[in-house]
Structure 1
Amino acid sequence: MSQRGLEALLRPKSIAVIGASEKPERAGSVMMRNLLAGGFAGPILPITPNSRSVQGVLAYPSIDKLPITPDLAVICTHHRRNLQCLEQLGQLGCKTVIILSSPTSQFAELKQCCQRYSIRLLGPNSLGVLAPWQGLNASFSPVPILKGKLAFISQSAAVSNTILDWAKHRGVGFSYFIALGDSVDIDIDHLLDFLARDSKTSAILLYLEHIHDARRFLSASRSASRNKPILVVKSGRTKRAQKLLGEQQNLDAAYDAAIQRAGLLRVQDTHEMFSAVETLSHMSPLRGERLFIVSNGASPAAMALDALFRRNGKLAILGEETTKALKIQLPETISLHNPLDLKDDSTVERYIAALKPLLDSHDHDALLLIHSPSAIAPCIQTATKVIETIRKHPRGKWLTIFTNWCGEYSSQEARRLFSEAGIPTYRTPEGAITAFMHMVEYRRNQKQLTETPALPANITANTARAHQCIQQALEQGNSRLDTHEVQPILEAYGLNTLPTWIAHNSDEAVNIAQQIGYPVALKLRSPDIPHKSEVQGVMLYLRNANEVKASAQAIIERVNQNFPHARIQGLLVQSMANRAGAQELRIAVEQDEVFGPLIMLGEGGIEWSQETQAAVALPPLNMALARYLVIQAIKSRKIKLRGAPQSLDVLALSRLLVQVSNLLLDCPQIVRLDIHPLLASGDEFTLLDVSMELSSIDGDPRTRLAIRPYPSELEESIKLKGGAECLLRPILPEDEPLLKDFIGQVTKEDLYYRYFSEISEFTHDDLANMTQIDYDREMAFVAVRHPKTTPEIIGVTRAIADPDNVEAEFAVLVRSDLKGITLGYQLMIKLINYTREHGISRLNAITMPENRTMIKLAKKLGFTIDVQFEDSIVNLSLEL
């Protein structure tokens, strides 16, 4: 996402304050006071016609009288002057502006003015920016800020001030503290891209109330979270809260799904938010999920244990060596288990004696130290010895350690000492466990982000047939399809519905039932009554003609009585499915105002609530993501596993979900889908009742998705020198095994030319980063031989664009034994055409002078060749 102007916002060399004032209650006075107190080293340029100086700094009467063009300007005047000031700043060439206050009626004009002059705008209604490493406090905040490694981005001024106040008291510092305001221009995605590359930022905390552009947010979040942990606090879970905040009414579970999909972690409330700040400020990377607990009392340890198991955490198991070491150090009365209870009479010496073997041990991944106030082991003295022991231990700085010094009066100073030492500390055992589980859940989300999906077996798709049925329905003005009408569309994607017939009256229903055999089910068909249960419109296990006829007449009578104006389009007749031992599930697709189509999975029922009874995912789904959705539904009890003769087949259900996802991607006219009930018996699934809603699509249908799907339209068959055929296509996450095999057939010399270093082996994470790409940010094309039988990758080319989409770095690699067959040339032609079509202005790469094959290919393609003999590199550049 565009980074233009962000350097001037977050690392300005000069700042102008429009509306600077000597009156303490004025915004211009607060801004000047904060800038001066922050220690900003560059020129501060107050602008006011009312005074020759402001707070001892020479002032200027108007913007056009400034001696230099400021990098950053802060408009603190009455909002009536906003547009005039912005126009003048644009004419002066100012790069970035913060507006503290503006009514919504101005937003459109402010945005137009910014676009006209290429100004980047923070706000309006922004609290401002604090960057303590730059000595920058261009904010309206009353609280000073400390230096740290945590960046905070907030959509609420009130929450921003609260966090700053709390952080000052706890000694927590920040790299950047940015209050967005209404985000007319600069938004979260722009800042995430900047902070992901910032050396002073090691972790990011977001406070969200809404998302303006889901695709941009997810793209930036996913990219940033691969390098730095990002925690999210999202308010507005309920409809009432969303209304209060002025948000779009949407499903909160969609935010959960999006945050997990991007590899972030959502914390639930203010208490967790403060714990998250503490954790992120002092966090060491978590290498596993096994926790060991030490306490000088059983009760606090039990509280921690309860909290850990409530959140599905894991306890470490003591190994033989650690047990022996502890046995030597501790009295025989101490039971050597996890949690390790050192007893109420534990001295400081006993605490440290237990700590040393645990610091040596590899049996755990994290250590929680709990201390209750004790006359025998005073809080401060024990804390001081613990800090000293950890500092002196060779593994001290690498271990993940949490502390919980219980109490307030006697423990407050101990917690301050831990914070100063960079060791996370919490007031309660539950708070410490919450912090640990934040890290565990973040680690799980990151693992999910890079999990290699399996290739789904038996996936079929007759897209042309589905398109034909959908187009025919729309041309007939039929936007709501029932089970009978949707049957051919679903069957085109291997989704088997129960055979369904339409009867226009009770006599026809009897005739159909006699032909297909009893027992049968009878269902109302009416576009005006979507929920058949409202009129008892479903009758099951009808065993003879009399029952069918009576049931048909009864359904019609109930409709006429309760919904006299409803249209009755007949009755659906189905054979009764064998429900013995089967489980009823529900799969639904709904449109979300923010994230577009959502896929929901649960058990359903008449009173089904999407908010509480459905697990939610964002398409597109692959097998790994679909499996995660199923497991999430089971763990959260949205699907309750029952002791059926054939238990639910997770893999088969995942495959069905992938088919539903593919159907949505290929047929964007589908805006709603409800499969209910879905009868599941082992690996067999029958769709008993289905409804679908259609709508004509204007514009690019792919933009409705929050995550860009695989661009199948870029697939292309080519012929190599010698006549062999090959498929050029974008890379897929499922390509990881093929890519690993490909790299194994590239010589060490060619790999050295490509990566500028000797690489013995690529890890799973390396390969995941190469195959699981964001098609909005980068592109990689693979050349695949025998794509339909025994596919193998024989060449790869990729380009990664800069955030402003101006230039892109490219690379190309072909199998070492397949050179000279025009493969590299055709891969590069494919990449050049793609980047040109997507607005890239220049392709760049660096190679070695010894890589003559690459240099020769670049010359043939029209690249400029610049040999840097001193650095032993060759710069390749192509204007597109």
Structure 2
Amino acid sequence: MSIRHLDTLFAPASVAVFGASERPSSVGATVWRNLREGGYQGRLYPVNPKHREIGGVKTFRHVRDLPEAPDLAVICTPPATVVDLIRELGARGTRAAVVVTAGLDKTTKQAMLDAARAHTLRILGPNCIGMLVPHLGLNASFAHIGARPGELAFVSQSGALVTAMLDWAASRGIGFSHFVSLGERADVDFGDMLDFLGSDPKTRAILLYIESIEESRKFMSAARAAARNKPVIVVKAGRSAAGQAAAASHTGALAGSDAVFDAAIARSGMLRVLTLHDLFLAAETLARFRDGRSNQLIVLTNGGGAGVMAADEAAALGVPLARLDEATLTRLDQVLPANWSRGNPVDIIGDAPAQRYLDAIDVLSRDTGSAILFIHAPTAIVPSLEIAQAMLPRISAGPQHLLGCWLGDSAVAQARQTFREAGVPDFNTPEEAVRAFSFLRTYRLHQEELLETPPARSAAHAIDLQAIRAIIDQVLAEQREILTEPEAKALLDAAGLPVVPTRVVGPDPDEACVAAQSLGYPVVLKILSQAISHKSDVGGVRLNIADEQELRQVCATMLARVRELRPDADVQGFTVQPMVRKKHAHELIVGASVDAVFGPVILFGAGGTAVEVLADRALALPPLNMPLALAQIRRTRIHQLLKGYRDEPAADIHGIAGVLVAVSQLLAEVPEITELDINPLLANHDGAVALDARVRVSASRPAGADHFAIAPYPAELVEFCDWQGQALTIRPIRPEDEAQHLAFLQRLDPEDIRLRVFYSRRSIEHTELARLTQIDYAREMAFIATRGHGSSEETLGTVRATVDPDNDTAEFGVIVRSDLKGTGLGHRLMRKMIGHLRARGTRQLVGTVLRENTGMLELARSLGFEERANPHDPDDHATRFVVLPLQPGH
């Protein structure tokens, strides 16, 4: 259902409380009291068959007795009553309910949902604390304390945490736009809340406490949409194995791998923090600095010790301190005393008057790529408030690049308040300020990944799907799960990955010697057995065999060793491969598995036999392209070695990234793959090659693009057709189209842009252009018509439709190149979009058209659109609203 009727849930005109009571300490009494005392101005109805009135307010016995269908029902009655109440409320016309009641079993919960869905009634809960909307005075909860109005939305899976957080926030003066306890999330879940709050004008940032996620694609799609609009910050419980087990026990849901959750957060443009305190710290910083571009820090302080503490924390968190160039140092020499620190941190000495701060800020502000951390320790020479007031004109004069840290308490309280009122984020300690800035840097990296939506299939990686299918089908036909090493390498080779040549021989040493002779010494010998997956564990791998005599000896020794340790294993023989010697080589691991929550996941890191001990790895969700693969590599420690150091040349990082992209494509094309390990992947400046591989498959087909948590590029929608004697391609827009799309916009006449109300101008910023080309295909679609190929391809027209989260209504815009108007191209693009939306079940397609745009209105009429007055503004006579029903019966 997503956001349908959530506006009624969070902004009801009337509320009925079922189970309202006067019994002290009861849930019904607490909810009723909170609603009456919270300042809510809507109509309130207590419902309880055992009372005639509660606190002087007439009480109603049943749903049918109420004077109207309440917009919102809060249910605090026993579990056995919930289903009938929901059914009666839905039939009466209520469209939202908060089910506080706990103890609903699986059957009762499903019956409740079935009763609600018949009337599209939305349910928050069950087993939840409730929710608060402070700017409406709405406290539909049994929390012990209310919340003050503000611009932060807090959504929690834990009810106990809701009450604790309310108490904590109240003591610190933190306000909220919404405060929501999701409970068991039978209906309204994190995805729904992200959809609703992402477009809520009263919410500046969204804070989430999560224990588990079930519908990963819905969650990721909603998160990516919300994160484009405002900061979304997450605390996820269950970081350790013990914590994950506890979370699963508490929620009754399977907790996914914490590392996979981290990868999902990065890919969706959100920020994860580890503590509730950091949740608010990050929210404050991101809301103030979100549009800035500062990537390094300058510390300005009147105390050397505080500066050192900031520098230490920056080093620990990987935050770069800006290096002051000679010109900056010279300018600072002119305004600071001779004994200033002449470096960063910039220590302007403890006796600094207000003017010294101003002069230093003026010089340092010229470095627009850096944020300034202002640290002040109170002195008896100059009152802190005087310094704060003197700096106010500088703060309000330009873009905000300043973080404040007033050390102390009462002596700096007024100065701290002055900074806060001026919009400067303020922190209690230097370490806290640096940590907040590190959140900002991480958040920006995640925002960059948010803008990438690659295809499931990469044209750069040829894949022999027929050969791969033959291998997979043979293994499954033999009722096996694990591919032999030769099979695994053949599969990788067919997928376009670099693999070392491998010969399969029987247990006879003579066969091994013949293979080694053809490959050339030195060689590597490995045991071949379908029952032995990790060959090194049983002495089944021998490297660098120099000649035939040594090879024969190793064959005999290896067979004896394996038979001793694994007498149950059927040994088919050996594999022989050349001993690959790469100068300056690194052992890496590339792998894939299927997470229980987020589906297919790709791993990269330091490889070799000590892979578990090193634990240097980064995970990413497919589909991957080169920018995303490179970002994944950068998240590992071994990346520093791959970049080169001293006399060690840099490895072919782009070649390594290409392997990751190829694995991503393999997971999309072959849904049977459940596990894949390439270890080691040997890489140096000349490239990379897979020396060993392990693949597990399953007939249940848990991988494949359909199971990706992020919808990949829908290549199946590409269409080739003839248009006016020319070959035309109509396809979904893709991230790589950015430059081509800009060229298209630049060829449009300004008047055409104005009439279509599609783009505001021909020249737009990269970030805005990226949002047009790097779209979430689960939420919107843009088809472009192109001619030509490769570098000569040009865009001739485009149609775009944005679908609401309920898949009820899509709003379109269409435009063709100005010199191609009247050629029927717009009609063809619209038919493509209409067909796509019908297939995905969208109910109607709508658009707003300027009345003077007769061409567009005529096109709409020819396609079957109906013209109506603007439903959002009946007094608007300049535009017309066009509507096309897409499904039978609508």
- The question of a shared fold, defined as TM-score above 0.5 by the shorter chain, is answered with yes
Q: Partners of 2:417 and 2:648 in 1: how far apart?
A: 58
What secondary structure sits across from 1:315 in the alignment?
Answer: coil
Q: Partners of 2:865 and 2:614 in 1: how far apart?
A: 55
Deviation at 1:53, TM superposition (A): 2.5
Instruction: Quote the residue 2:216 is aligned against.
Output: 214
- Aligned partners of 1:329 and 1:353 also within 8 Å: no
Q: Partners of 1:789 and 1:367 in 2: how far apart?
A: 44
Q: Partners of 1:877 and 1:518 in 2: how far apart?
A: 74
Instruction: Quote the residue 1:133 is aligned against.
Output: 135
2:788 paired with 1:786? yes
Range with greater deviation from structure 2 (732-741 or 483-492) = 483-492
- Aligned partners of 1:665 and 1:709 also within 8 Å: no
What secondary structure sits across from 1:286 in the alignment?
Answer: coil
Deviation at 1:787, TM superposition (A): 3.2
Q: Partners of 2:784 and 2:535 in 1: how far apart?
A: 50
2:167 paired with 1:165? yes
The alpha-carbon distance between structure 1 residues 591 and 639, as it changes in their structure 2 partners (threshold 3 A), is farther
User: What does 1:379-394 align with in structure 2 at a 5 Å threshold?
Assistant: 381-382=383-384, 384-393=385-394
Range with greater deviation from structure 2 (15-24 or 689-698) = 689-698
Deviation at 1:852, TM superposition (A): 3.7
Instruction: Quote the residue 2:573 is aligned against.
Output: 570
2:349 paired with 1:343? yes
Instruction: Quote the residue 1:374 is aligned against.
Output: 379
User: What does 1:354-373 align with in structure 2 at a 5 Å threshold?
Assistant: 354=359, 357=362, 361=366, 363=368, 365-373=370-378
User: What percent of counterpart residues are identical?
Assistant: 38
Whichever residue aligns with residue 431 of structure 2, its letter is E
The alpha-carbon distance between structure 1 residues 59 and 612, as it changes in their structure 2 partners (threshold 3 A), is farther
Deviation at 1:445, TM superposition (A): 2.0
Deviation at 1:577, TM superposition (A): 1.4
The alpha-carbon distance between structure 1 residues 499 and 610, as it changes in their structure 2 partners (threshold 3 A), is same
The alpha-carbon distance between structure 1 residues 460 and 698, as it changes in their structure 2 partners (threshold 3 A), is closer
Alignment partner of 2:298 out of 289, 292, 299: 292
Q: Partners of 2:159 and 2:658 in 1: how far apart?
A: 45
Range with greater deviation from structure 2 (231-240 or 402-411) = 402-411
Instruction: Quote the residue 2:655 is aligned against.
Output: 652
Instruction: Quote the residue 2:98 is aligned against.
Output: 98
User: What does 1:228-239 align with in structure 2 at a 5 Å threshold?
Assistant: 228-239=230-241
Q: Partners of 2:763 and 2:301 in 1: how far apart?
A: 43
Instruction: Quote the residue 2:432 is aligned against.
Output: 431
Gaps in structure 2 of 5+ consecutive residues: none
Q: Partners of 1:111 and 1:178 in 2: how far apart?
A: 20
What secondary structure sits across from 2:761 in the alignment?
Answer: coil
Deviation at 1:62, TM superposition (A): 2.8
Range with greater deviation from structure 2 (507-516 or 70-79) = 507-516
Q: Partners of 2:816 and 2:730 in 1: how far apart?
A: 13
Structure 1, residues 450-494: CA drift from partner, whole Å, max 9, x if none? 369899885323334333433343334343213311334322332
Instruction: Quote the residue 1:50 is aligned against.
Output: 50
2:766 paired with 1:764? yes
Instruction: Quote the residue 1:254 is aligned against.
Output: 260
Whichever residue aligns with residue 340 of structure 2, its letter is I
Instruction: Quote the residue 1:198 is aligned against.
Output: 200
- Aligned partners of 2:670 and 2:703 also within 8 Å: no
- Aligned partners of 1:322 and 1:357 also within 8 Å: no
Structure 1, residues 573-597: CA drift from partner, whole Å, max 9, x if none? 1121123332211100011111111
The alpha-carbon distance between structure 1 residues 742 and 610, as it changes in their structure 2 partners (threshold 3 A), is farther
- Aligned partners of 1:633 and 1:639 also within 8 Å: no
Structure 1, residues 699-742: CA drift from partner, whole Å, max 9, x if none? 99543110111111111211112x21122221111111221222
- Aligned partners of 1:326 and 1:357 also within 8 Å: no
- Aligned partners of 1:402 and 1:424 also within 8 Å: yes
Instruction: Quote the residue 1:594 is aligned against.
Output: 597
Superposition RMSD on alpha carbons, in Å? 2.9
Q: Partners of 1:643 and 1:273 in 2: how far apart?
A: 41
Gaps in structure 1 of 5+ consecutive residues: none
The alpha-carbon distance between structure 1 residues 357 and 684, as it changes in their structure 2 partners (threshold 3 A), is closer
User: What does 1:564-643 align with in structure 2 at a 5 Å threshold?
Assistant: 564-609=567-612, 612-634=615-637
The alpha-carbon distance between structure 1 residues 651 and 407, as it changes in their structure 2 partners (threshold 3 A), is same
Instruction: Quote the residue 2:488 is aligned against.
Output: 486
The alpha-carbon distance between structure 1 residues 249 and 170, as it changes in their structure 2 partners (threshold 3 A), is closer
The alpha-carbon distance between structure 1 residues 487 and 280, as it changes in their structure 2 partners (threshold 3 A), is closer
Q: Partners of 1:323 and 1:53 in 2: how far apart?
A: 76
2:874 paired with 1:872? no
- Aligned partners of 1:107 and 1:184 also within 8 Å: yes
What secondary structure sits across from 1:479 in the alignment?
Answer: coil
Instruction: Quote the residue 2:503 is aligned against.
Output: 501
Q: Partners of 1:613 and 1:877 in 2: how far apart?
A: 55
Range with greater deviation from structure 2 (798-807 or 355-364) = 355-364
What secondary structure sits across from 1:299 in the alignment?
Answer: helix
Alignment partner of 2:311 out of 289, 305, 323: 305
Q: Partners of 1:408 and 1:662 in 2: how far apart?
A: 57
Instruction: Quote the residue 1:444 is aligned against.
Output: 445
Q: Partners of 1:173 and 1:636 in 2: how far apart?
A: 42
- Aligned partners of 2:358 and 2:391 also within 8 Å: no
Instruction: Quote the residue 1:535 is aligned against.
Output: 538
What secondary structure sits across from 2:163 in the alignment?
Answer: helix
Q: Partners of 1:119 and 1:453 in 2: how far apart?
A: 37
2:34 paired with 1:34? yes
Range with greater deviation from structure 2 (15-24 or 247-256) = 247-256
Q: Partners of 2:613 and 2:666 in 1: how far apart?
A: 21
What secondary structure sits across from 1:609 in the alignment?
Answer: helix
Q: Partners of 1:7 and 1:332 in 2: how far apart?
A: 62
TM-score norm. by structure 1 comes to 0.93
Range with greater deviation from structure 2 (359-368 or 239-248) = 359-368
Structure 1, residues 209-258: CA drift from partner, whole Å, max 9, x if none? 11111111111111111111111111211111011111535321111111
The alpha-carbon distance between structure 1 residues 46 and 164, as it changes in their structure 2 partners (threshold 3 A), is same
Deviation at 1:676, TM superposition (A): 1.0
Q: Partners of 1:592 and 1:558 in 2: how far apart?
A: 36
User: What does 1:724-735 align with in structure 2 at a 5 Å threshold?
Assistant: 724-735=726-737
Alignment partner of 2:677 out of 646, 671, 674: 674
- Aligned partners of 2:587 and 2:606 also within 8 Å: yes
Q: Partners of 1:325 and 1:580 in 2: how far apart?
A: 49
Q: Partners of 1:523 and 1:680 in 2: how far apart?
A: 21
2:667 paired with 1:664? yes
The alpha-carbon distance between structure 1 residues 294 and 580, as it changes in their structure 2 partners (threshold 3 A), is closer
Whichever residue aligns with residue 186 of structure 2, its letter is V
Instruction: Quote the residue 2:6 is aligned against.
Output: 6
Deviation at 1:352, TM superposition (A): 5.1
Whichever residue aligns with residue 273 of structure 1, its letter is L
Alignment partner of 2:694 out of 681, 691, 699: 691
The alpha-carbon distance between structure 1 residues 443 and 516, as it changes in their structure 2 partners (threshold 3 A), is closer
The alpha-carbon distance between structure 1 residues 824 and 616, as it changes in their structure 2 partners (threshold 3 A), is same
Deviation at 1:610, TM superposition (A): 9.6
- Aligned partners of 1:506 and 1:548 also within 8 Å: no
Instruction: Quote the residue 2:514 is aligned against.
Output: 511
What secondary structure sits across from 1:601 in the alignment?
Answer: strand
Whichever residue aligns with residue 374 of structure 2, its letter is L
User: What does 1:793-804 align with in structure 2 at a 5 Å threshold?
Assistant: 793-804=795-806
The alpha-carbon distance between structure 1 residues 80 and 414, as it changes in their structure 2 partners (threshold 3 A), is farther
Instruction: Quote the residue 1:112 is aligned against.
Output: 114
Q: Partners of 2:820 and 2:334 in 1: how far apart?
A: 64
Q: Partners of 1:21 and 1:94 in 2: how far apart?
A: 22
- Aligned partners of 1:634 and 1:641 also within 8 Å: no
Range with greater deviation from structure 2 (332-341 or 681-690) = 332-341
The alpha-carbon distance between structure 1 residues 397 and 579, as it changes in their structure 2 partners (threshold 3 A), is closer
The alpha-carbon distance between structure 1 residues 850 and 63, as it changes in their structure 2 partners (threshold 3 A), is closer
Instruction: Quote the residue 1:720 is aligned against.
Output: 723
Q: Partners of 1:574 and 1:219 in 2: how far apart?
A: 45
- Aligned partners of 1:152 and 1:205 also within 8 Å: yes
